[in-house]
Amino acid sequence: MQIAIALFDRFTALDAVGPYEILSRAPGAEPVFVAERAGAVRNDSGTLELVAHRTFDQVPAPDLVIVPGGPGQHHQMENENLLGWLRGADAASTWTTSVCSGSLLLAAAGLLKGRRATSHWLALDQLSGHGAEPTGERVVFDGKYVTAAGVSAGIDMGLTLLGRIAGDRTAQAVQLLTEYDPRPPYDAGSPDKAPADLVEEWRGRSRFILR
Protein backbone atom coordinates (compact mmCIF):
# COMPACT_ATOMS: atom_id res chain seq x y z
CA MET A 1 0.00 0.00 0.00
CA GLN A 2 1.72 3.15 -1.22
CA ILE A 3 0.89 6.15 1.00
CA ALA A 4 1.71 9.53 -0.55
CA ILE A 5 2.00 12.43 1.89
CA ALA A 6 2.00 15.71 -0.05
CA LEU A 7 4.24 18.53 1.16
CA PHE A 8 4.27 22.19 0.20
CA ASP A 9 5.93 25.33 1.51
CA ARG A 10 4.55 26.34 4.93
CA PHE A 11 2.61 23.16 5.65
CA THR A 12 1.89 22.35 9.32
CA ALA A 13 4.20 19.57 10.50
CA LEU A 14 1.83 17.68 12.80
CA ASP A 15 -0.85 17.62 10.08
CA ALA A 16 1.49 15.41 8.07
CA VAL A 17 3.36 13.51 10.77
CA GLY A 18 0.29 12.57 12.86
CA PRO A 19 -1.42 10.35 10.28
CA TYR A 20 1.98 9.29 8.89
CA GLU A 21 3.02 7.90 12.28
CA ILE A 22 -0.19 5.86 12.52
CA LEU A 23 -0.74 4.72 8.93
CA SER A 24 2.91 3.96 8.15
CA ARG A 25 2.61 1.16 10.73
CA ALA A 26 -0.02 -0.66 8.62
CA PRO A 27 1.19 -4.04 7.33
CA GLY A 28 2.72 -3.51 3.89
CA ALA A 29 2.68 0.28 4.13
CA GLU A 30 5.07 2.11 1.80
CA PRO A 31 4.88 5.76 2.83
CA VAL A 32 6.49 8.37 0.61
CA PHE A 33 6.70 12.12 1.08
CA VAL A 34 6.08 13.90 -2.23
CA ALA A 35 6.29 17.51 -3.36
CA GLU A 36 6.64 19.62 -6.47
CA ARG A 37 10.41 19.32 -6.12
CA ALA A 38 12.31 16.65 -4.20
CA GLY A 39 14.28 17.85 -1.20
CA ALA A 40 13.64 19.62 2.08
CA VAL A 41 10.27 21.38 2.47
CA ARG A 42 9.88 24.05 5.12
CA ASN A 43 6.93 24.18 7.54
CA ASP A 44 4.70 27.10 8.56
CA SER A 45 7.11 28.62 11.08
CA GLY A 46 10.18 27.97 8.91
CA THR A 47 11.94 26.08 11.71
CA LEU A 48 11.24 22.49 10.61
CA GLU A 49 12.08 20.76 7.34
CA LEU A 50 10.77 17.41 6.18
CA VAL A 51 12.37 15.80 3.15
CA ALA A 52 10.24 15.04 0.08
CA HIS A 53 11.86 11.94 -1.42
CA ARG A 54 9.86 12.01 -4.65
CA THR A 55 8.27 14.56 -6.96
CA PHE A 56 4.57 14.44 -7.74
CA ASP A 57 5.38 13.03 -11.20
CA GLN A 58 7.21 10.10 -9.64
CA VAL A 59 4.21 9.01 -7.57
CA PRO A 60 1.26 9.16 -9.98
CA ALA A 61 -0.91 6.38 -8.54
CA PRO A 62 -0.68 5.99 -4.74
CA ASP A 63 -3.17 3.82 -2.87
CA LEU A 64 -3.65 6.44 -0.18
CA VAL A 65 -3.22 10.20 -0.45
CA ILE A 66 -2.71 12.42 2.61
CA VAL A 67 -2.85 16.20 2.18
CA PRO A 68 -1.87 18.28 5.20
CA GLY A 69 -2.88 21.89 5.72
CA GLY A 70 -1.19 24.93 7.13
CA PRO A 71 -0.83 28.61 6.29
CA GLY A 72 0.85 27.68 2.98
CA GLN A 73 -2.33 26.01 1.73
CA HIS A 74 -3.69 29.40 0.72
CA HIS A 75 -0.88 29.85 -1.80
CA GLN A 76 -1.47 26.44 -3.41
CA MET A 77 -5.12 26.96 -4.31
CA GLU A 78 -4.32 27.68 -7.95
CA ASN A 79 -1.15 25.60 -8.26
CA GLU A 80 -1.99 23.20 -11.08
CA ASN A 81 1.15 21.15 -10.40
CA LEU A 82 -0.33 20.19 -7.05
CA LEU A 83 -4.03 20.22 -7.99
CA GLY A 84 -3.45 18.26 -11.20
CA TRP A 85 -1.43 15.68 -9.29
CA LEU A 86 -4.22 15.41 -6.72
CA ARG A 87 -6.78 14.71 -9.46
CA GLY A 88 -4.60 12.05 -11.06
CA ALA A 89 -3.65 10.44 -7.76
CA ASP A 90 -7.28 10.46 -6.69
CA ALA A 91 -8.29 8.68 -9.88
CA ALA A 92 -6.06 5.79 -8.79
CA SER A 93 -6.42 5.91 -5.00
CA THR A 94 -8.39 3.71 -2.66
CA TRP A 95 -8.48 6.54 -0.10
CA THR A 96 -8.04 10.28 -0.54
CA THR A 97 -7.59 12.14 2.73
CA SER A 98 -6.71 15.49 4.24
CA VAL A 99 -5.95 17.08 7.58
CA CYS A 100 -6.77 20.64 8.61
CA SER A 101 -6.98 23.13 5.73
CA GLY A 102 -5.69 20.41 3.40
CA SER A 103 -9.37 19.74 2.64
CA LEU A 104 -9.48 23.11 0.87
CA LEU A 105 -6.86 21.77 -1.55
CA LEU A 106 -8.91 18.63 -2.20
CA ALA A 107 -11.90 20.92 -2.71
CA ALA A 108 -9.97 23.25 -5.03
CA ALA A 109 -9.02 20.21 -7.10
CA GLY A 110 -12.75 19.55 -7.49
CA LEU A 111 -12.71 16.34 -5.48
CA LEU A 112 -15.20 17.21 -2.75
CA LYS A 113 -18.17 18.43 -4.83
CA GLY A 114 -21.38 17.45 -3.04
CA ARG A 115 -19.43 15.62 -0.33
CA ARG A 116 -19.47 16.09 3.42
CA ALA A 117 -16.09 17.25 4.67
CA THR A 118 -14.34 18.98 7.53
CA SER A 119 -11.36 21.31 7.98
CA HIS A 120 -9.65 23.45 10.59
CA TRP A 121 -12.43 25.27 12.46
CA LEU A 122 -11.12 28.61 11.17
CA ALA A 123 -11.25 27.40 7.55
CA LEU A 124 -14.45 25.39 7.68
CA ASP A 125 -16.73 27.98 6.08
CA GLN A 126 -14.50 28.13 2.99
CA LEU A 127 -15.37 24.57 2.00
CA SER A 128 -18.83 25.46 0.72
CA GLY A 129 -17.33 27.89 -1.80
CA HIS A 130 -15.90 24.83 -3.53
CA GLY A 131 -19.12 22.82 -3.49
CA ALA A 132 -18.42 20.73 -0.40
CA GLU A 133 -20.77 20.42 2.55
CA PRO A 134 -18.87 21.49 5.69
CA THR A 135 -19.46 19.65 8.96
CA GLY A 136 -17.92 20.41 12.34
CA GLU A 137 -17.11 16.74 12.99
CA ARG A 138 -13.55 15.74 13.84
CA VAL A 139 -13.18 12.98 11.24
CA VAL A 140 -15.52 12.74 8.26
CA PHE A 141 -15.86 9.75 5.92
CA ASP A 142 -17.73 10.25 2.64
CA GLY A 143 -17.05 7.31 0.37
CA LYS A 144 -13.30 7.10 -0.12
CA TYR A 145 -12.81 10.72 0.98
CA VAL A 146 -11.72 11.18 4.57
CA THR A 147 -11.14 14.64 6.01
CA ALA A 148 -9.95 15.58 9.48
CA ALA A 149 -10.34 18.78 11.48
CA GLY A 150 -7.33 20.87 12.56
CA VAL A 151 -3.76 19.64 13.08
CA SER A 152 -4.02 16.96 15.81
CA ALA A 153 -7.22 15.49 14.31
CA GLY A 154 -5.06 13.69 11.75
CA ILE A 155 -4.07 11.20 14.47
CA ASP A 156 -7.72 10.25 15.07
CA MET A 157 -8.26 10.09 11.32
CA GLY A 158 -5.22 7.85 10.89
CA LEU A 159 -6.35 5.42 13.57
CA THR A 160 -9.94 5.30 12.33
CA LEU A 161 -8.78 4.73 8.76
CA LEU A 162 -6.23 2.14 9.87
CA GLY A 163 -9.09 0.17 11.45
CA ARG A 164 -10.95 0.19 8.14
CA ILE A 165 -7.85 -0.80 6.16
CA ALA A 166 -6.21 -3.35 8.44
CA GLY A 167 -8.85 -4.28 11.02
CA ASP A 168 -9.58 -3.31 14.58
CA ARG A 169 -6.85 -5.44 16.15
CA THR A 170 -4.07 -3.85 14.09
CA ALA A 171 -5.41 -0.38 14.84
CA GLN A 172 -5.58 -1.18 18.54
CA ALA A 173 -2.00 -2.48 18.41
CA VAL A 174 -0.85 0.79 16.83
CA GLN A 175 -2.78 2.78 19.43
CA LEU A 176 -1.04 0.75 22.15
CA LEU A 177 2.43 1.12 20.59
CA THR A 178 2.02 4.86 20.12
CA GLU A 179 0.51 5.02 23.62
CA TYR A 180 -2.36 7.10 22.31
CA ASP A 181 -4.29 7.50 25.54
CA PRO A 182 -4.64 11.28 25.40
CA ARG A 183 -4.92 13.39 28.53
CA PRO A 184 -5.01 17.05 27.52
CA PRO A 185 -4.42 19.24 30.57
CA TYR A 186 -7.13 21.67 29.38
CA ASP A 187 -10.47 21.22 27.67
CA ALA A 188 -10.10 23.96 25.06
CA GLY A 189 -9.52 21.88 21.93
CA SER A 190 -12.51 22.99 19.90
CA PRO A 191 -14.42 26.24 19.44
CA ASP A 192 -17.35 24.67 21.33
CA LYS A 193 -15.20 24.01 24.38
CA ALA A 194 -12.63 26.81 24.54
CA PRO A 195 -13.39 30.05 26.39
CA ALA A 196 -15.64 32.13 24.12
CA ASP A 197 -13.40 35.20 24.21
CA LEU A 198 -10.41 33.11 23.12
CA VAL A 199 -12.39 31.75 20.17
CA GLU A 200 -13.43 35.26 19.17
CA GLU A 201 -9.88 36.58 19.53
CA TRP A 202 -8.56 33.94 17.12
CA ARG A 203 -11.46 34.31 14.70
CA GLY A 204 -10.42 37.95 14.47
CA ARG A 205 -6.84 37.01 13.73
CA SER A 206 -7.63 34.17 11.35
CA ARG A 207 -6.99 36.08 8.15
CA PHE A 208 -3.43 36.60 9.36
CA ILE A 209 -2.66 33.12 10.64
CA LEU A 210 -4.18 31.25 7.71
CA ARG A 211 -1.99 32.94 5.09
Is 11 within 8 Å of 43 (Cβ atoms)? yes
List the one residue from 13, 66, 89, 132 that touches a copy of itself (CB under 8 A). 13
User: What is the C-alpha to C-alpha distance for residues 5 and 58, in angstroms, rounded to an integer?
Assistant: 13
Does residue 188 touch a copy of itself according to CB under 8 A? yes
Does residue 70 touch a copy of itself according to CB under 8 A? no
Does residue 80 touch a copy of itself according to CB under 8 A? no
Q: What is the dihedral of CA 164, 169, 170, 172, to 10 degrees?
A: 100
Does residue 65 touch a copy of itself according to CB under 8 A? no
CB of 134 to a copy of itself, least distance (A): 14
Residue 11 DSSP code:
B
Encoded amino acid at 51, one letter: V
Q: Is-catalytic flag, 100? A: yes
From the list 67, 100, 105, 139, the catalytic residue is: 100
| Residue 13: closest CA among 92, 63, 72 | 72
| Residue 118: closest CA among 154, 81, 82, 90 | 154
Q: What is the largest CA-CA distance in the chain?
A: 47
What are φ and ψ of residue 25, in 5° steps? -90, 0
For the chain, how many helices (H) and strands (E)?
Answer: 6, 11
**Count of chain residues binding a copy of itself (CB under 8 A):** 64
Does residue 40 touch a copy of itself according to CB under 8 A? yes
Does residue 12 touch a copy of itself according to CB under 8 A? yes
121-150 positions binding a copy of itself, by CB under 8 A: 121, 138-139, 149-150
Judged by CB under 8 A, which stretch of 71-79, 84-92, 107-115, 183-191 contacts a copy of itself?
183-191
| DSSP, residue by residue, 42-67 | EBTTSS-EEEE-EEGGG-SS-SEEEE
- Residue closer to a copy of itself by CB (options 53, 144) is 53
CB of 47 to a copy of itself, least distance (A): 5
Question: What residues make contact with a copy of itself under the rule CB under 8 A?
Answer: 12-14, 17-18, 20-21, 24, 30-33, 40, 45, 47-51, 53, 100, 120-121, 138-139, 149-153, 155-156, 159-160, 163, 168-169, 171-173, 175-186, 188-191, 193-195, 198-199, 201-202, 209
Q: Which residues are catalytic?
A: 100
